[in-house]
Amino acid sequence: MRLKAAGFALVVVSNQAVVARGLLGEAEVMALQRLLEQRLVEAGGPALDGFHFCPHHPRATLARYRVDCGCRKPRPGLLLQAAEKLGFDLGASYMVGDRPTDLLAGVRAGCRTVWIQSGQHLAAPIETSEPPEAAPLPDHVCASLTEAAAWILAGGAP
């Protein structure tokens, strides 16, 4: 709530390989997103300003999703789409994520980055169509979204 009150757009950008694998359809991903957002709001959290997802995967089960796209993180396409749609400046934005691909997408889009070390940060790298690239150093490392928000609201000072 504090980020939204401070004027930040709250946008989720997500790779959704479940679509490429035929486990869920795009409409089902959107329905799940709406349900999660409803529960977030019911719990006192803020409504999201946007939700963008990439259904593609380099080795998709469904051929129509086997696309070398610009939206699958670590590429910045989802962030570029969100910024264009909502009209915000990526240079004044923060990409908060728990995977190296989140950090790389943020850097490529021109954002400052926050790496949340939730445990997922230790998971195997996601598969991309690009050769593996080391994660860039984040601007900040923390353990939770609450800590990330506090750092951002403090001006993102080192």
Beta bridge partners of 94: 112
What are the residues whose beta carbons fall under 8 Å from the beta carbon of 82, sequence distance 6 or more? 9, 11, 13, 50, 52, 88
At the top level of CATH, the class of 2-153 is alpha beta
Nearest to 94 by CA among 21, 155, 22: 155
**CA angle at residue 97 from 148 to 123, to 5 degrees?**
125
Q: What is the pLDDT of residues 86-103, one digit of tens each?
A: 999 999 999 999 998 899
Please report which confidence band the pLDDT of residue 85 belongs to, taking 50, 70 and 90 as the band edges. very high
More confident residue, 118 or 79: 79
Q: What is the pLDDT of residue 126?
A: 74
CA–CA distance, 83 with 77 (Å, rounded to integer): 10
Q: Which residue ranges make up each domain of the chain? A: 2-153
- Could you give the CA distance from residue 20 to residue 79 in angstroms, rounded to a whole number? 20
Query: Is pLDDT at 132 greater than 70 in this prediction?
Result: no
Q: Supply the pTM of this predicted model.
A: 0.89
Model confidence over 27-59: pLDDT tens digits? Answer: 999 999 999 999 999 999 999 999 999 999 999
The pLDDT of residue 129 is 73
pLDDT digits (tens, 9 = 90+) for 10-29: 999 999 999 999 999 999 99
